[in-house]
Each structure stands twice: as structure tokens, then as C-alpha cells.
Amino acid sequence: MPRDAVAPYPWSHSVSWLMVRQRIEFKICLLVYKCLHHLPAPYLESMITPVSAVSTRRRHLRSAGLGDVVVPRTRTVGFGPRSFSIAGPSLWNILPIDTKVASLTVSTFRNQLKTEMFLRSYFAPAQPS
């Protein structure tokens, strides 16, 4: 079994704790959800743009119906992908469609997101090396 597939603490699985990386991703996805529902500070909200709000193309994009957000381009390799304006949309776009449903309340979204992150951290298939 690869080292990545083993939980850092044997009891963390039984108490439903997320690993550190998934906890950070959970917080970022929760902020994106709040930005899309106009709940956080306006400066955060301005960093997240739904694909459906972009009107640069004449045709309708499939990703607009999936609840995806625009991932802006970055020129830097080190710090650019770590910024909220890049990491937030990137993480949001890989969530399952049923988690990104707009009609969910914050508490329901948190529950579904935590379940998704928990499944990814403990039950994800091992990546081939």
C-alpha cells in the first residue's frame, strides 16, 4: 500500500477528521460557495466569476450549466496557482455536479463537501507511480 493512502493517525478516520490538505481545500471551496451566493466580503466576491456570467462567446458553453467558474490565467508558477483567485476556481471546478447545486443551503453544502473530501482523503484509489 502506498504511503499516501495511509491515514496519518489511525483514529482520524473513526472521528471523521479530514487530512490537512483536504481541510484546506474544504475551506477554499466553502469560500467559493459563499462568493457565489454573495455572502463574504466584496473583494473576495470579485475574484470569482461564474462561467455563465462570461459573455465573450456567442455560443453557450457546456461548463456554464455545470456551475463551473472561470479560472484566470497566471504567469507565475510558484505563487500564482496558490492564490485564492486561481486555487478557488480550480478546486470548485473539480467538485461533483451534485455538490455544486445552487439551491443548497450553507449547512447542506458543508455536509456534502465534507463527505466528498472525506471520501477523497481516505477512500480514493491509490495513484499509480
Burial environment of residue 32 by CB neighbours within 10 A (0 to 12, 13 to 18, 19 or more):
buried
- pTM summary value: 0.71
Hey, which bits of 17-124 come out as E strands? none
pLDDT band at 76 (very low <50, low <70, confident <90, very high): confident
Burial environment of residue 40 by CB neighbours within 10 A (0 to 12, 13 to 18, 19 or more):
middle
Q: For 7-44, what is each residue's pLDDT tens digit? A: 555 545 555 677 788 888 899 999 999 988 888 788 88
What are the structural domain ranges in the chain? 10-123
Sequence letter at residue 54: V
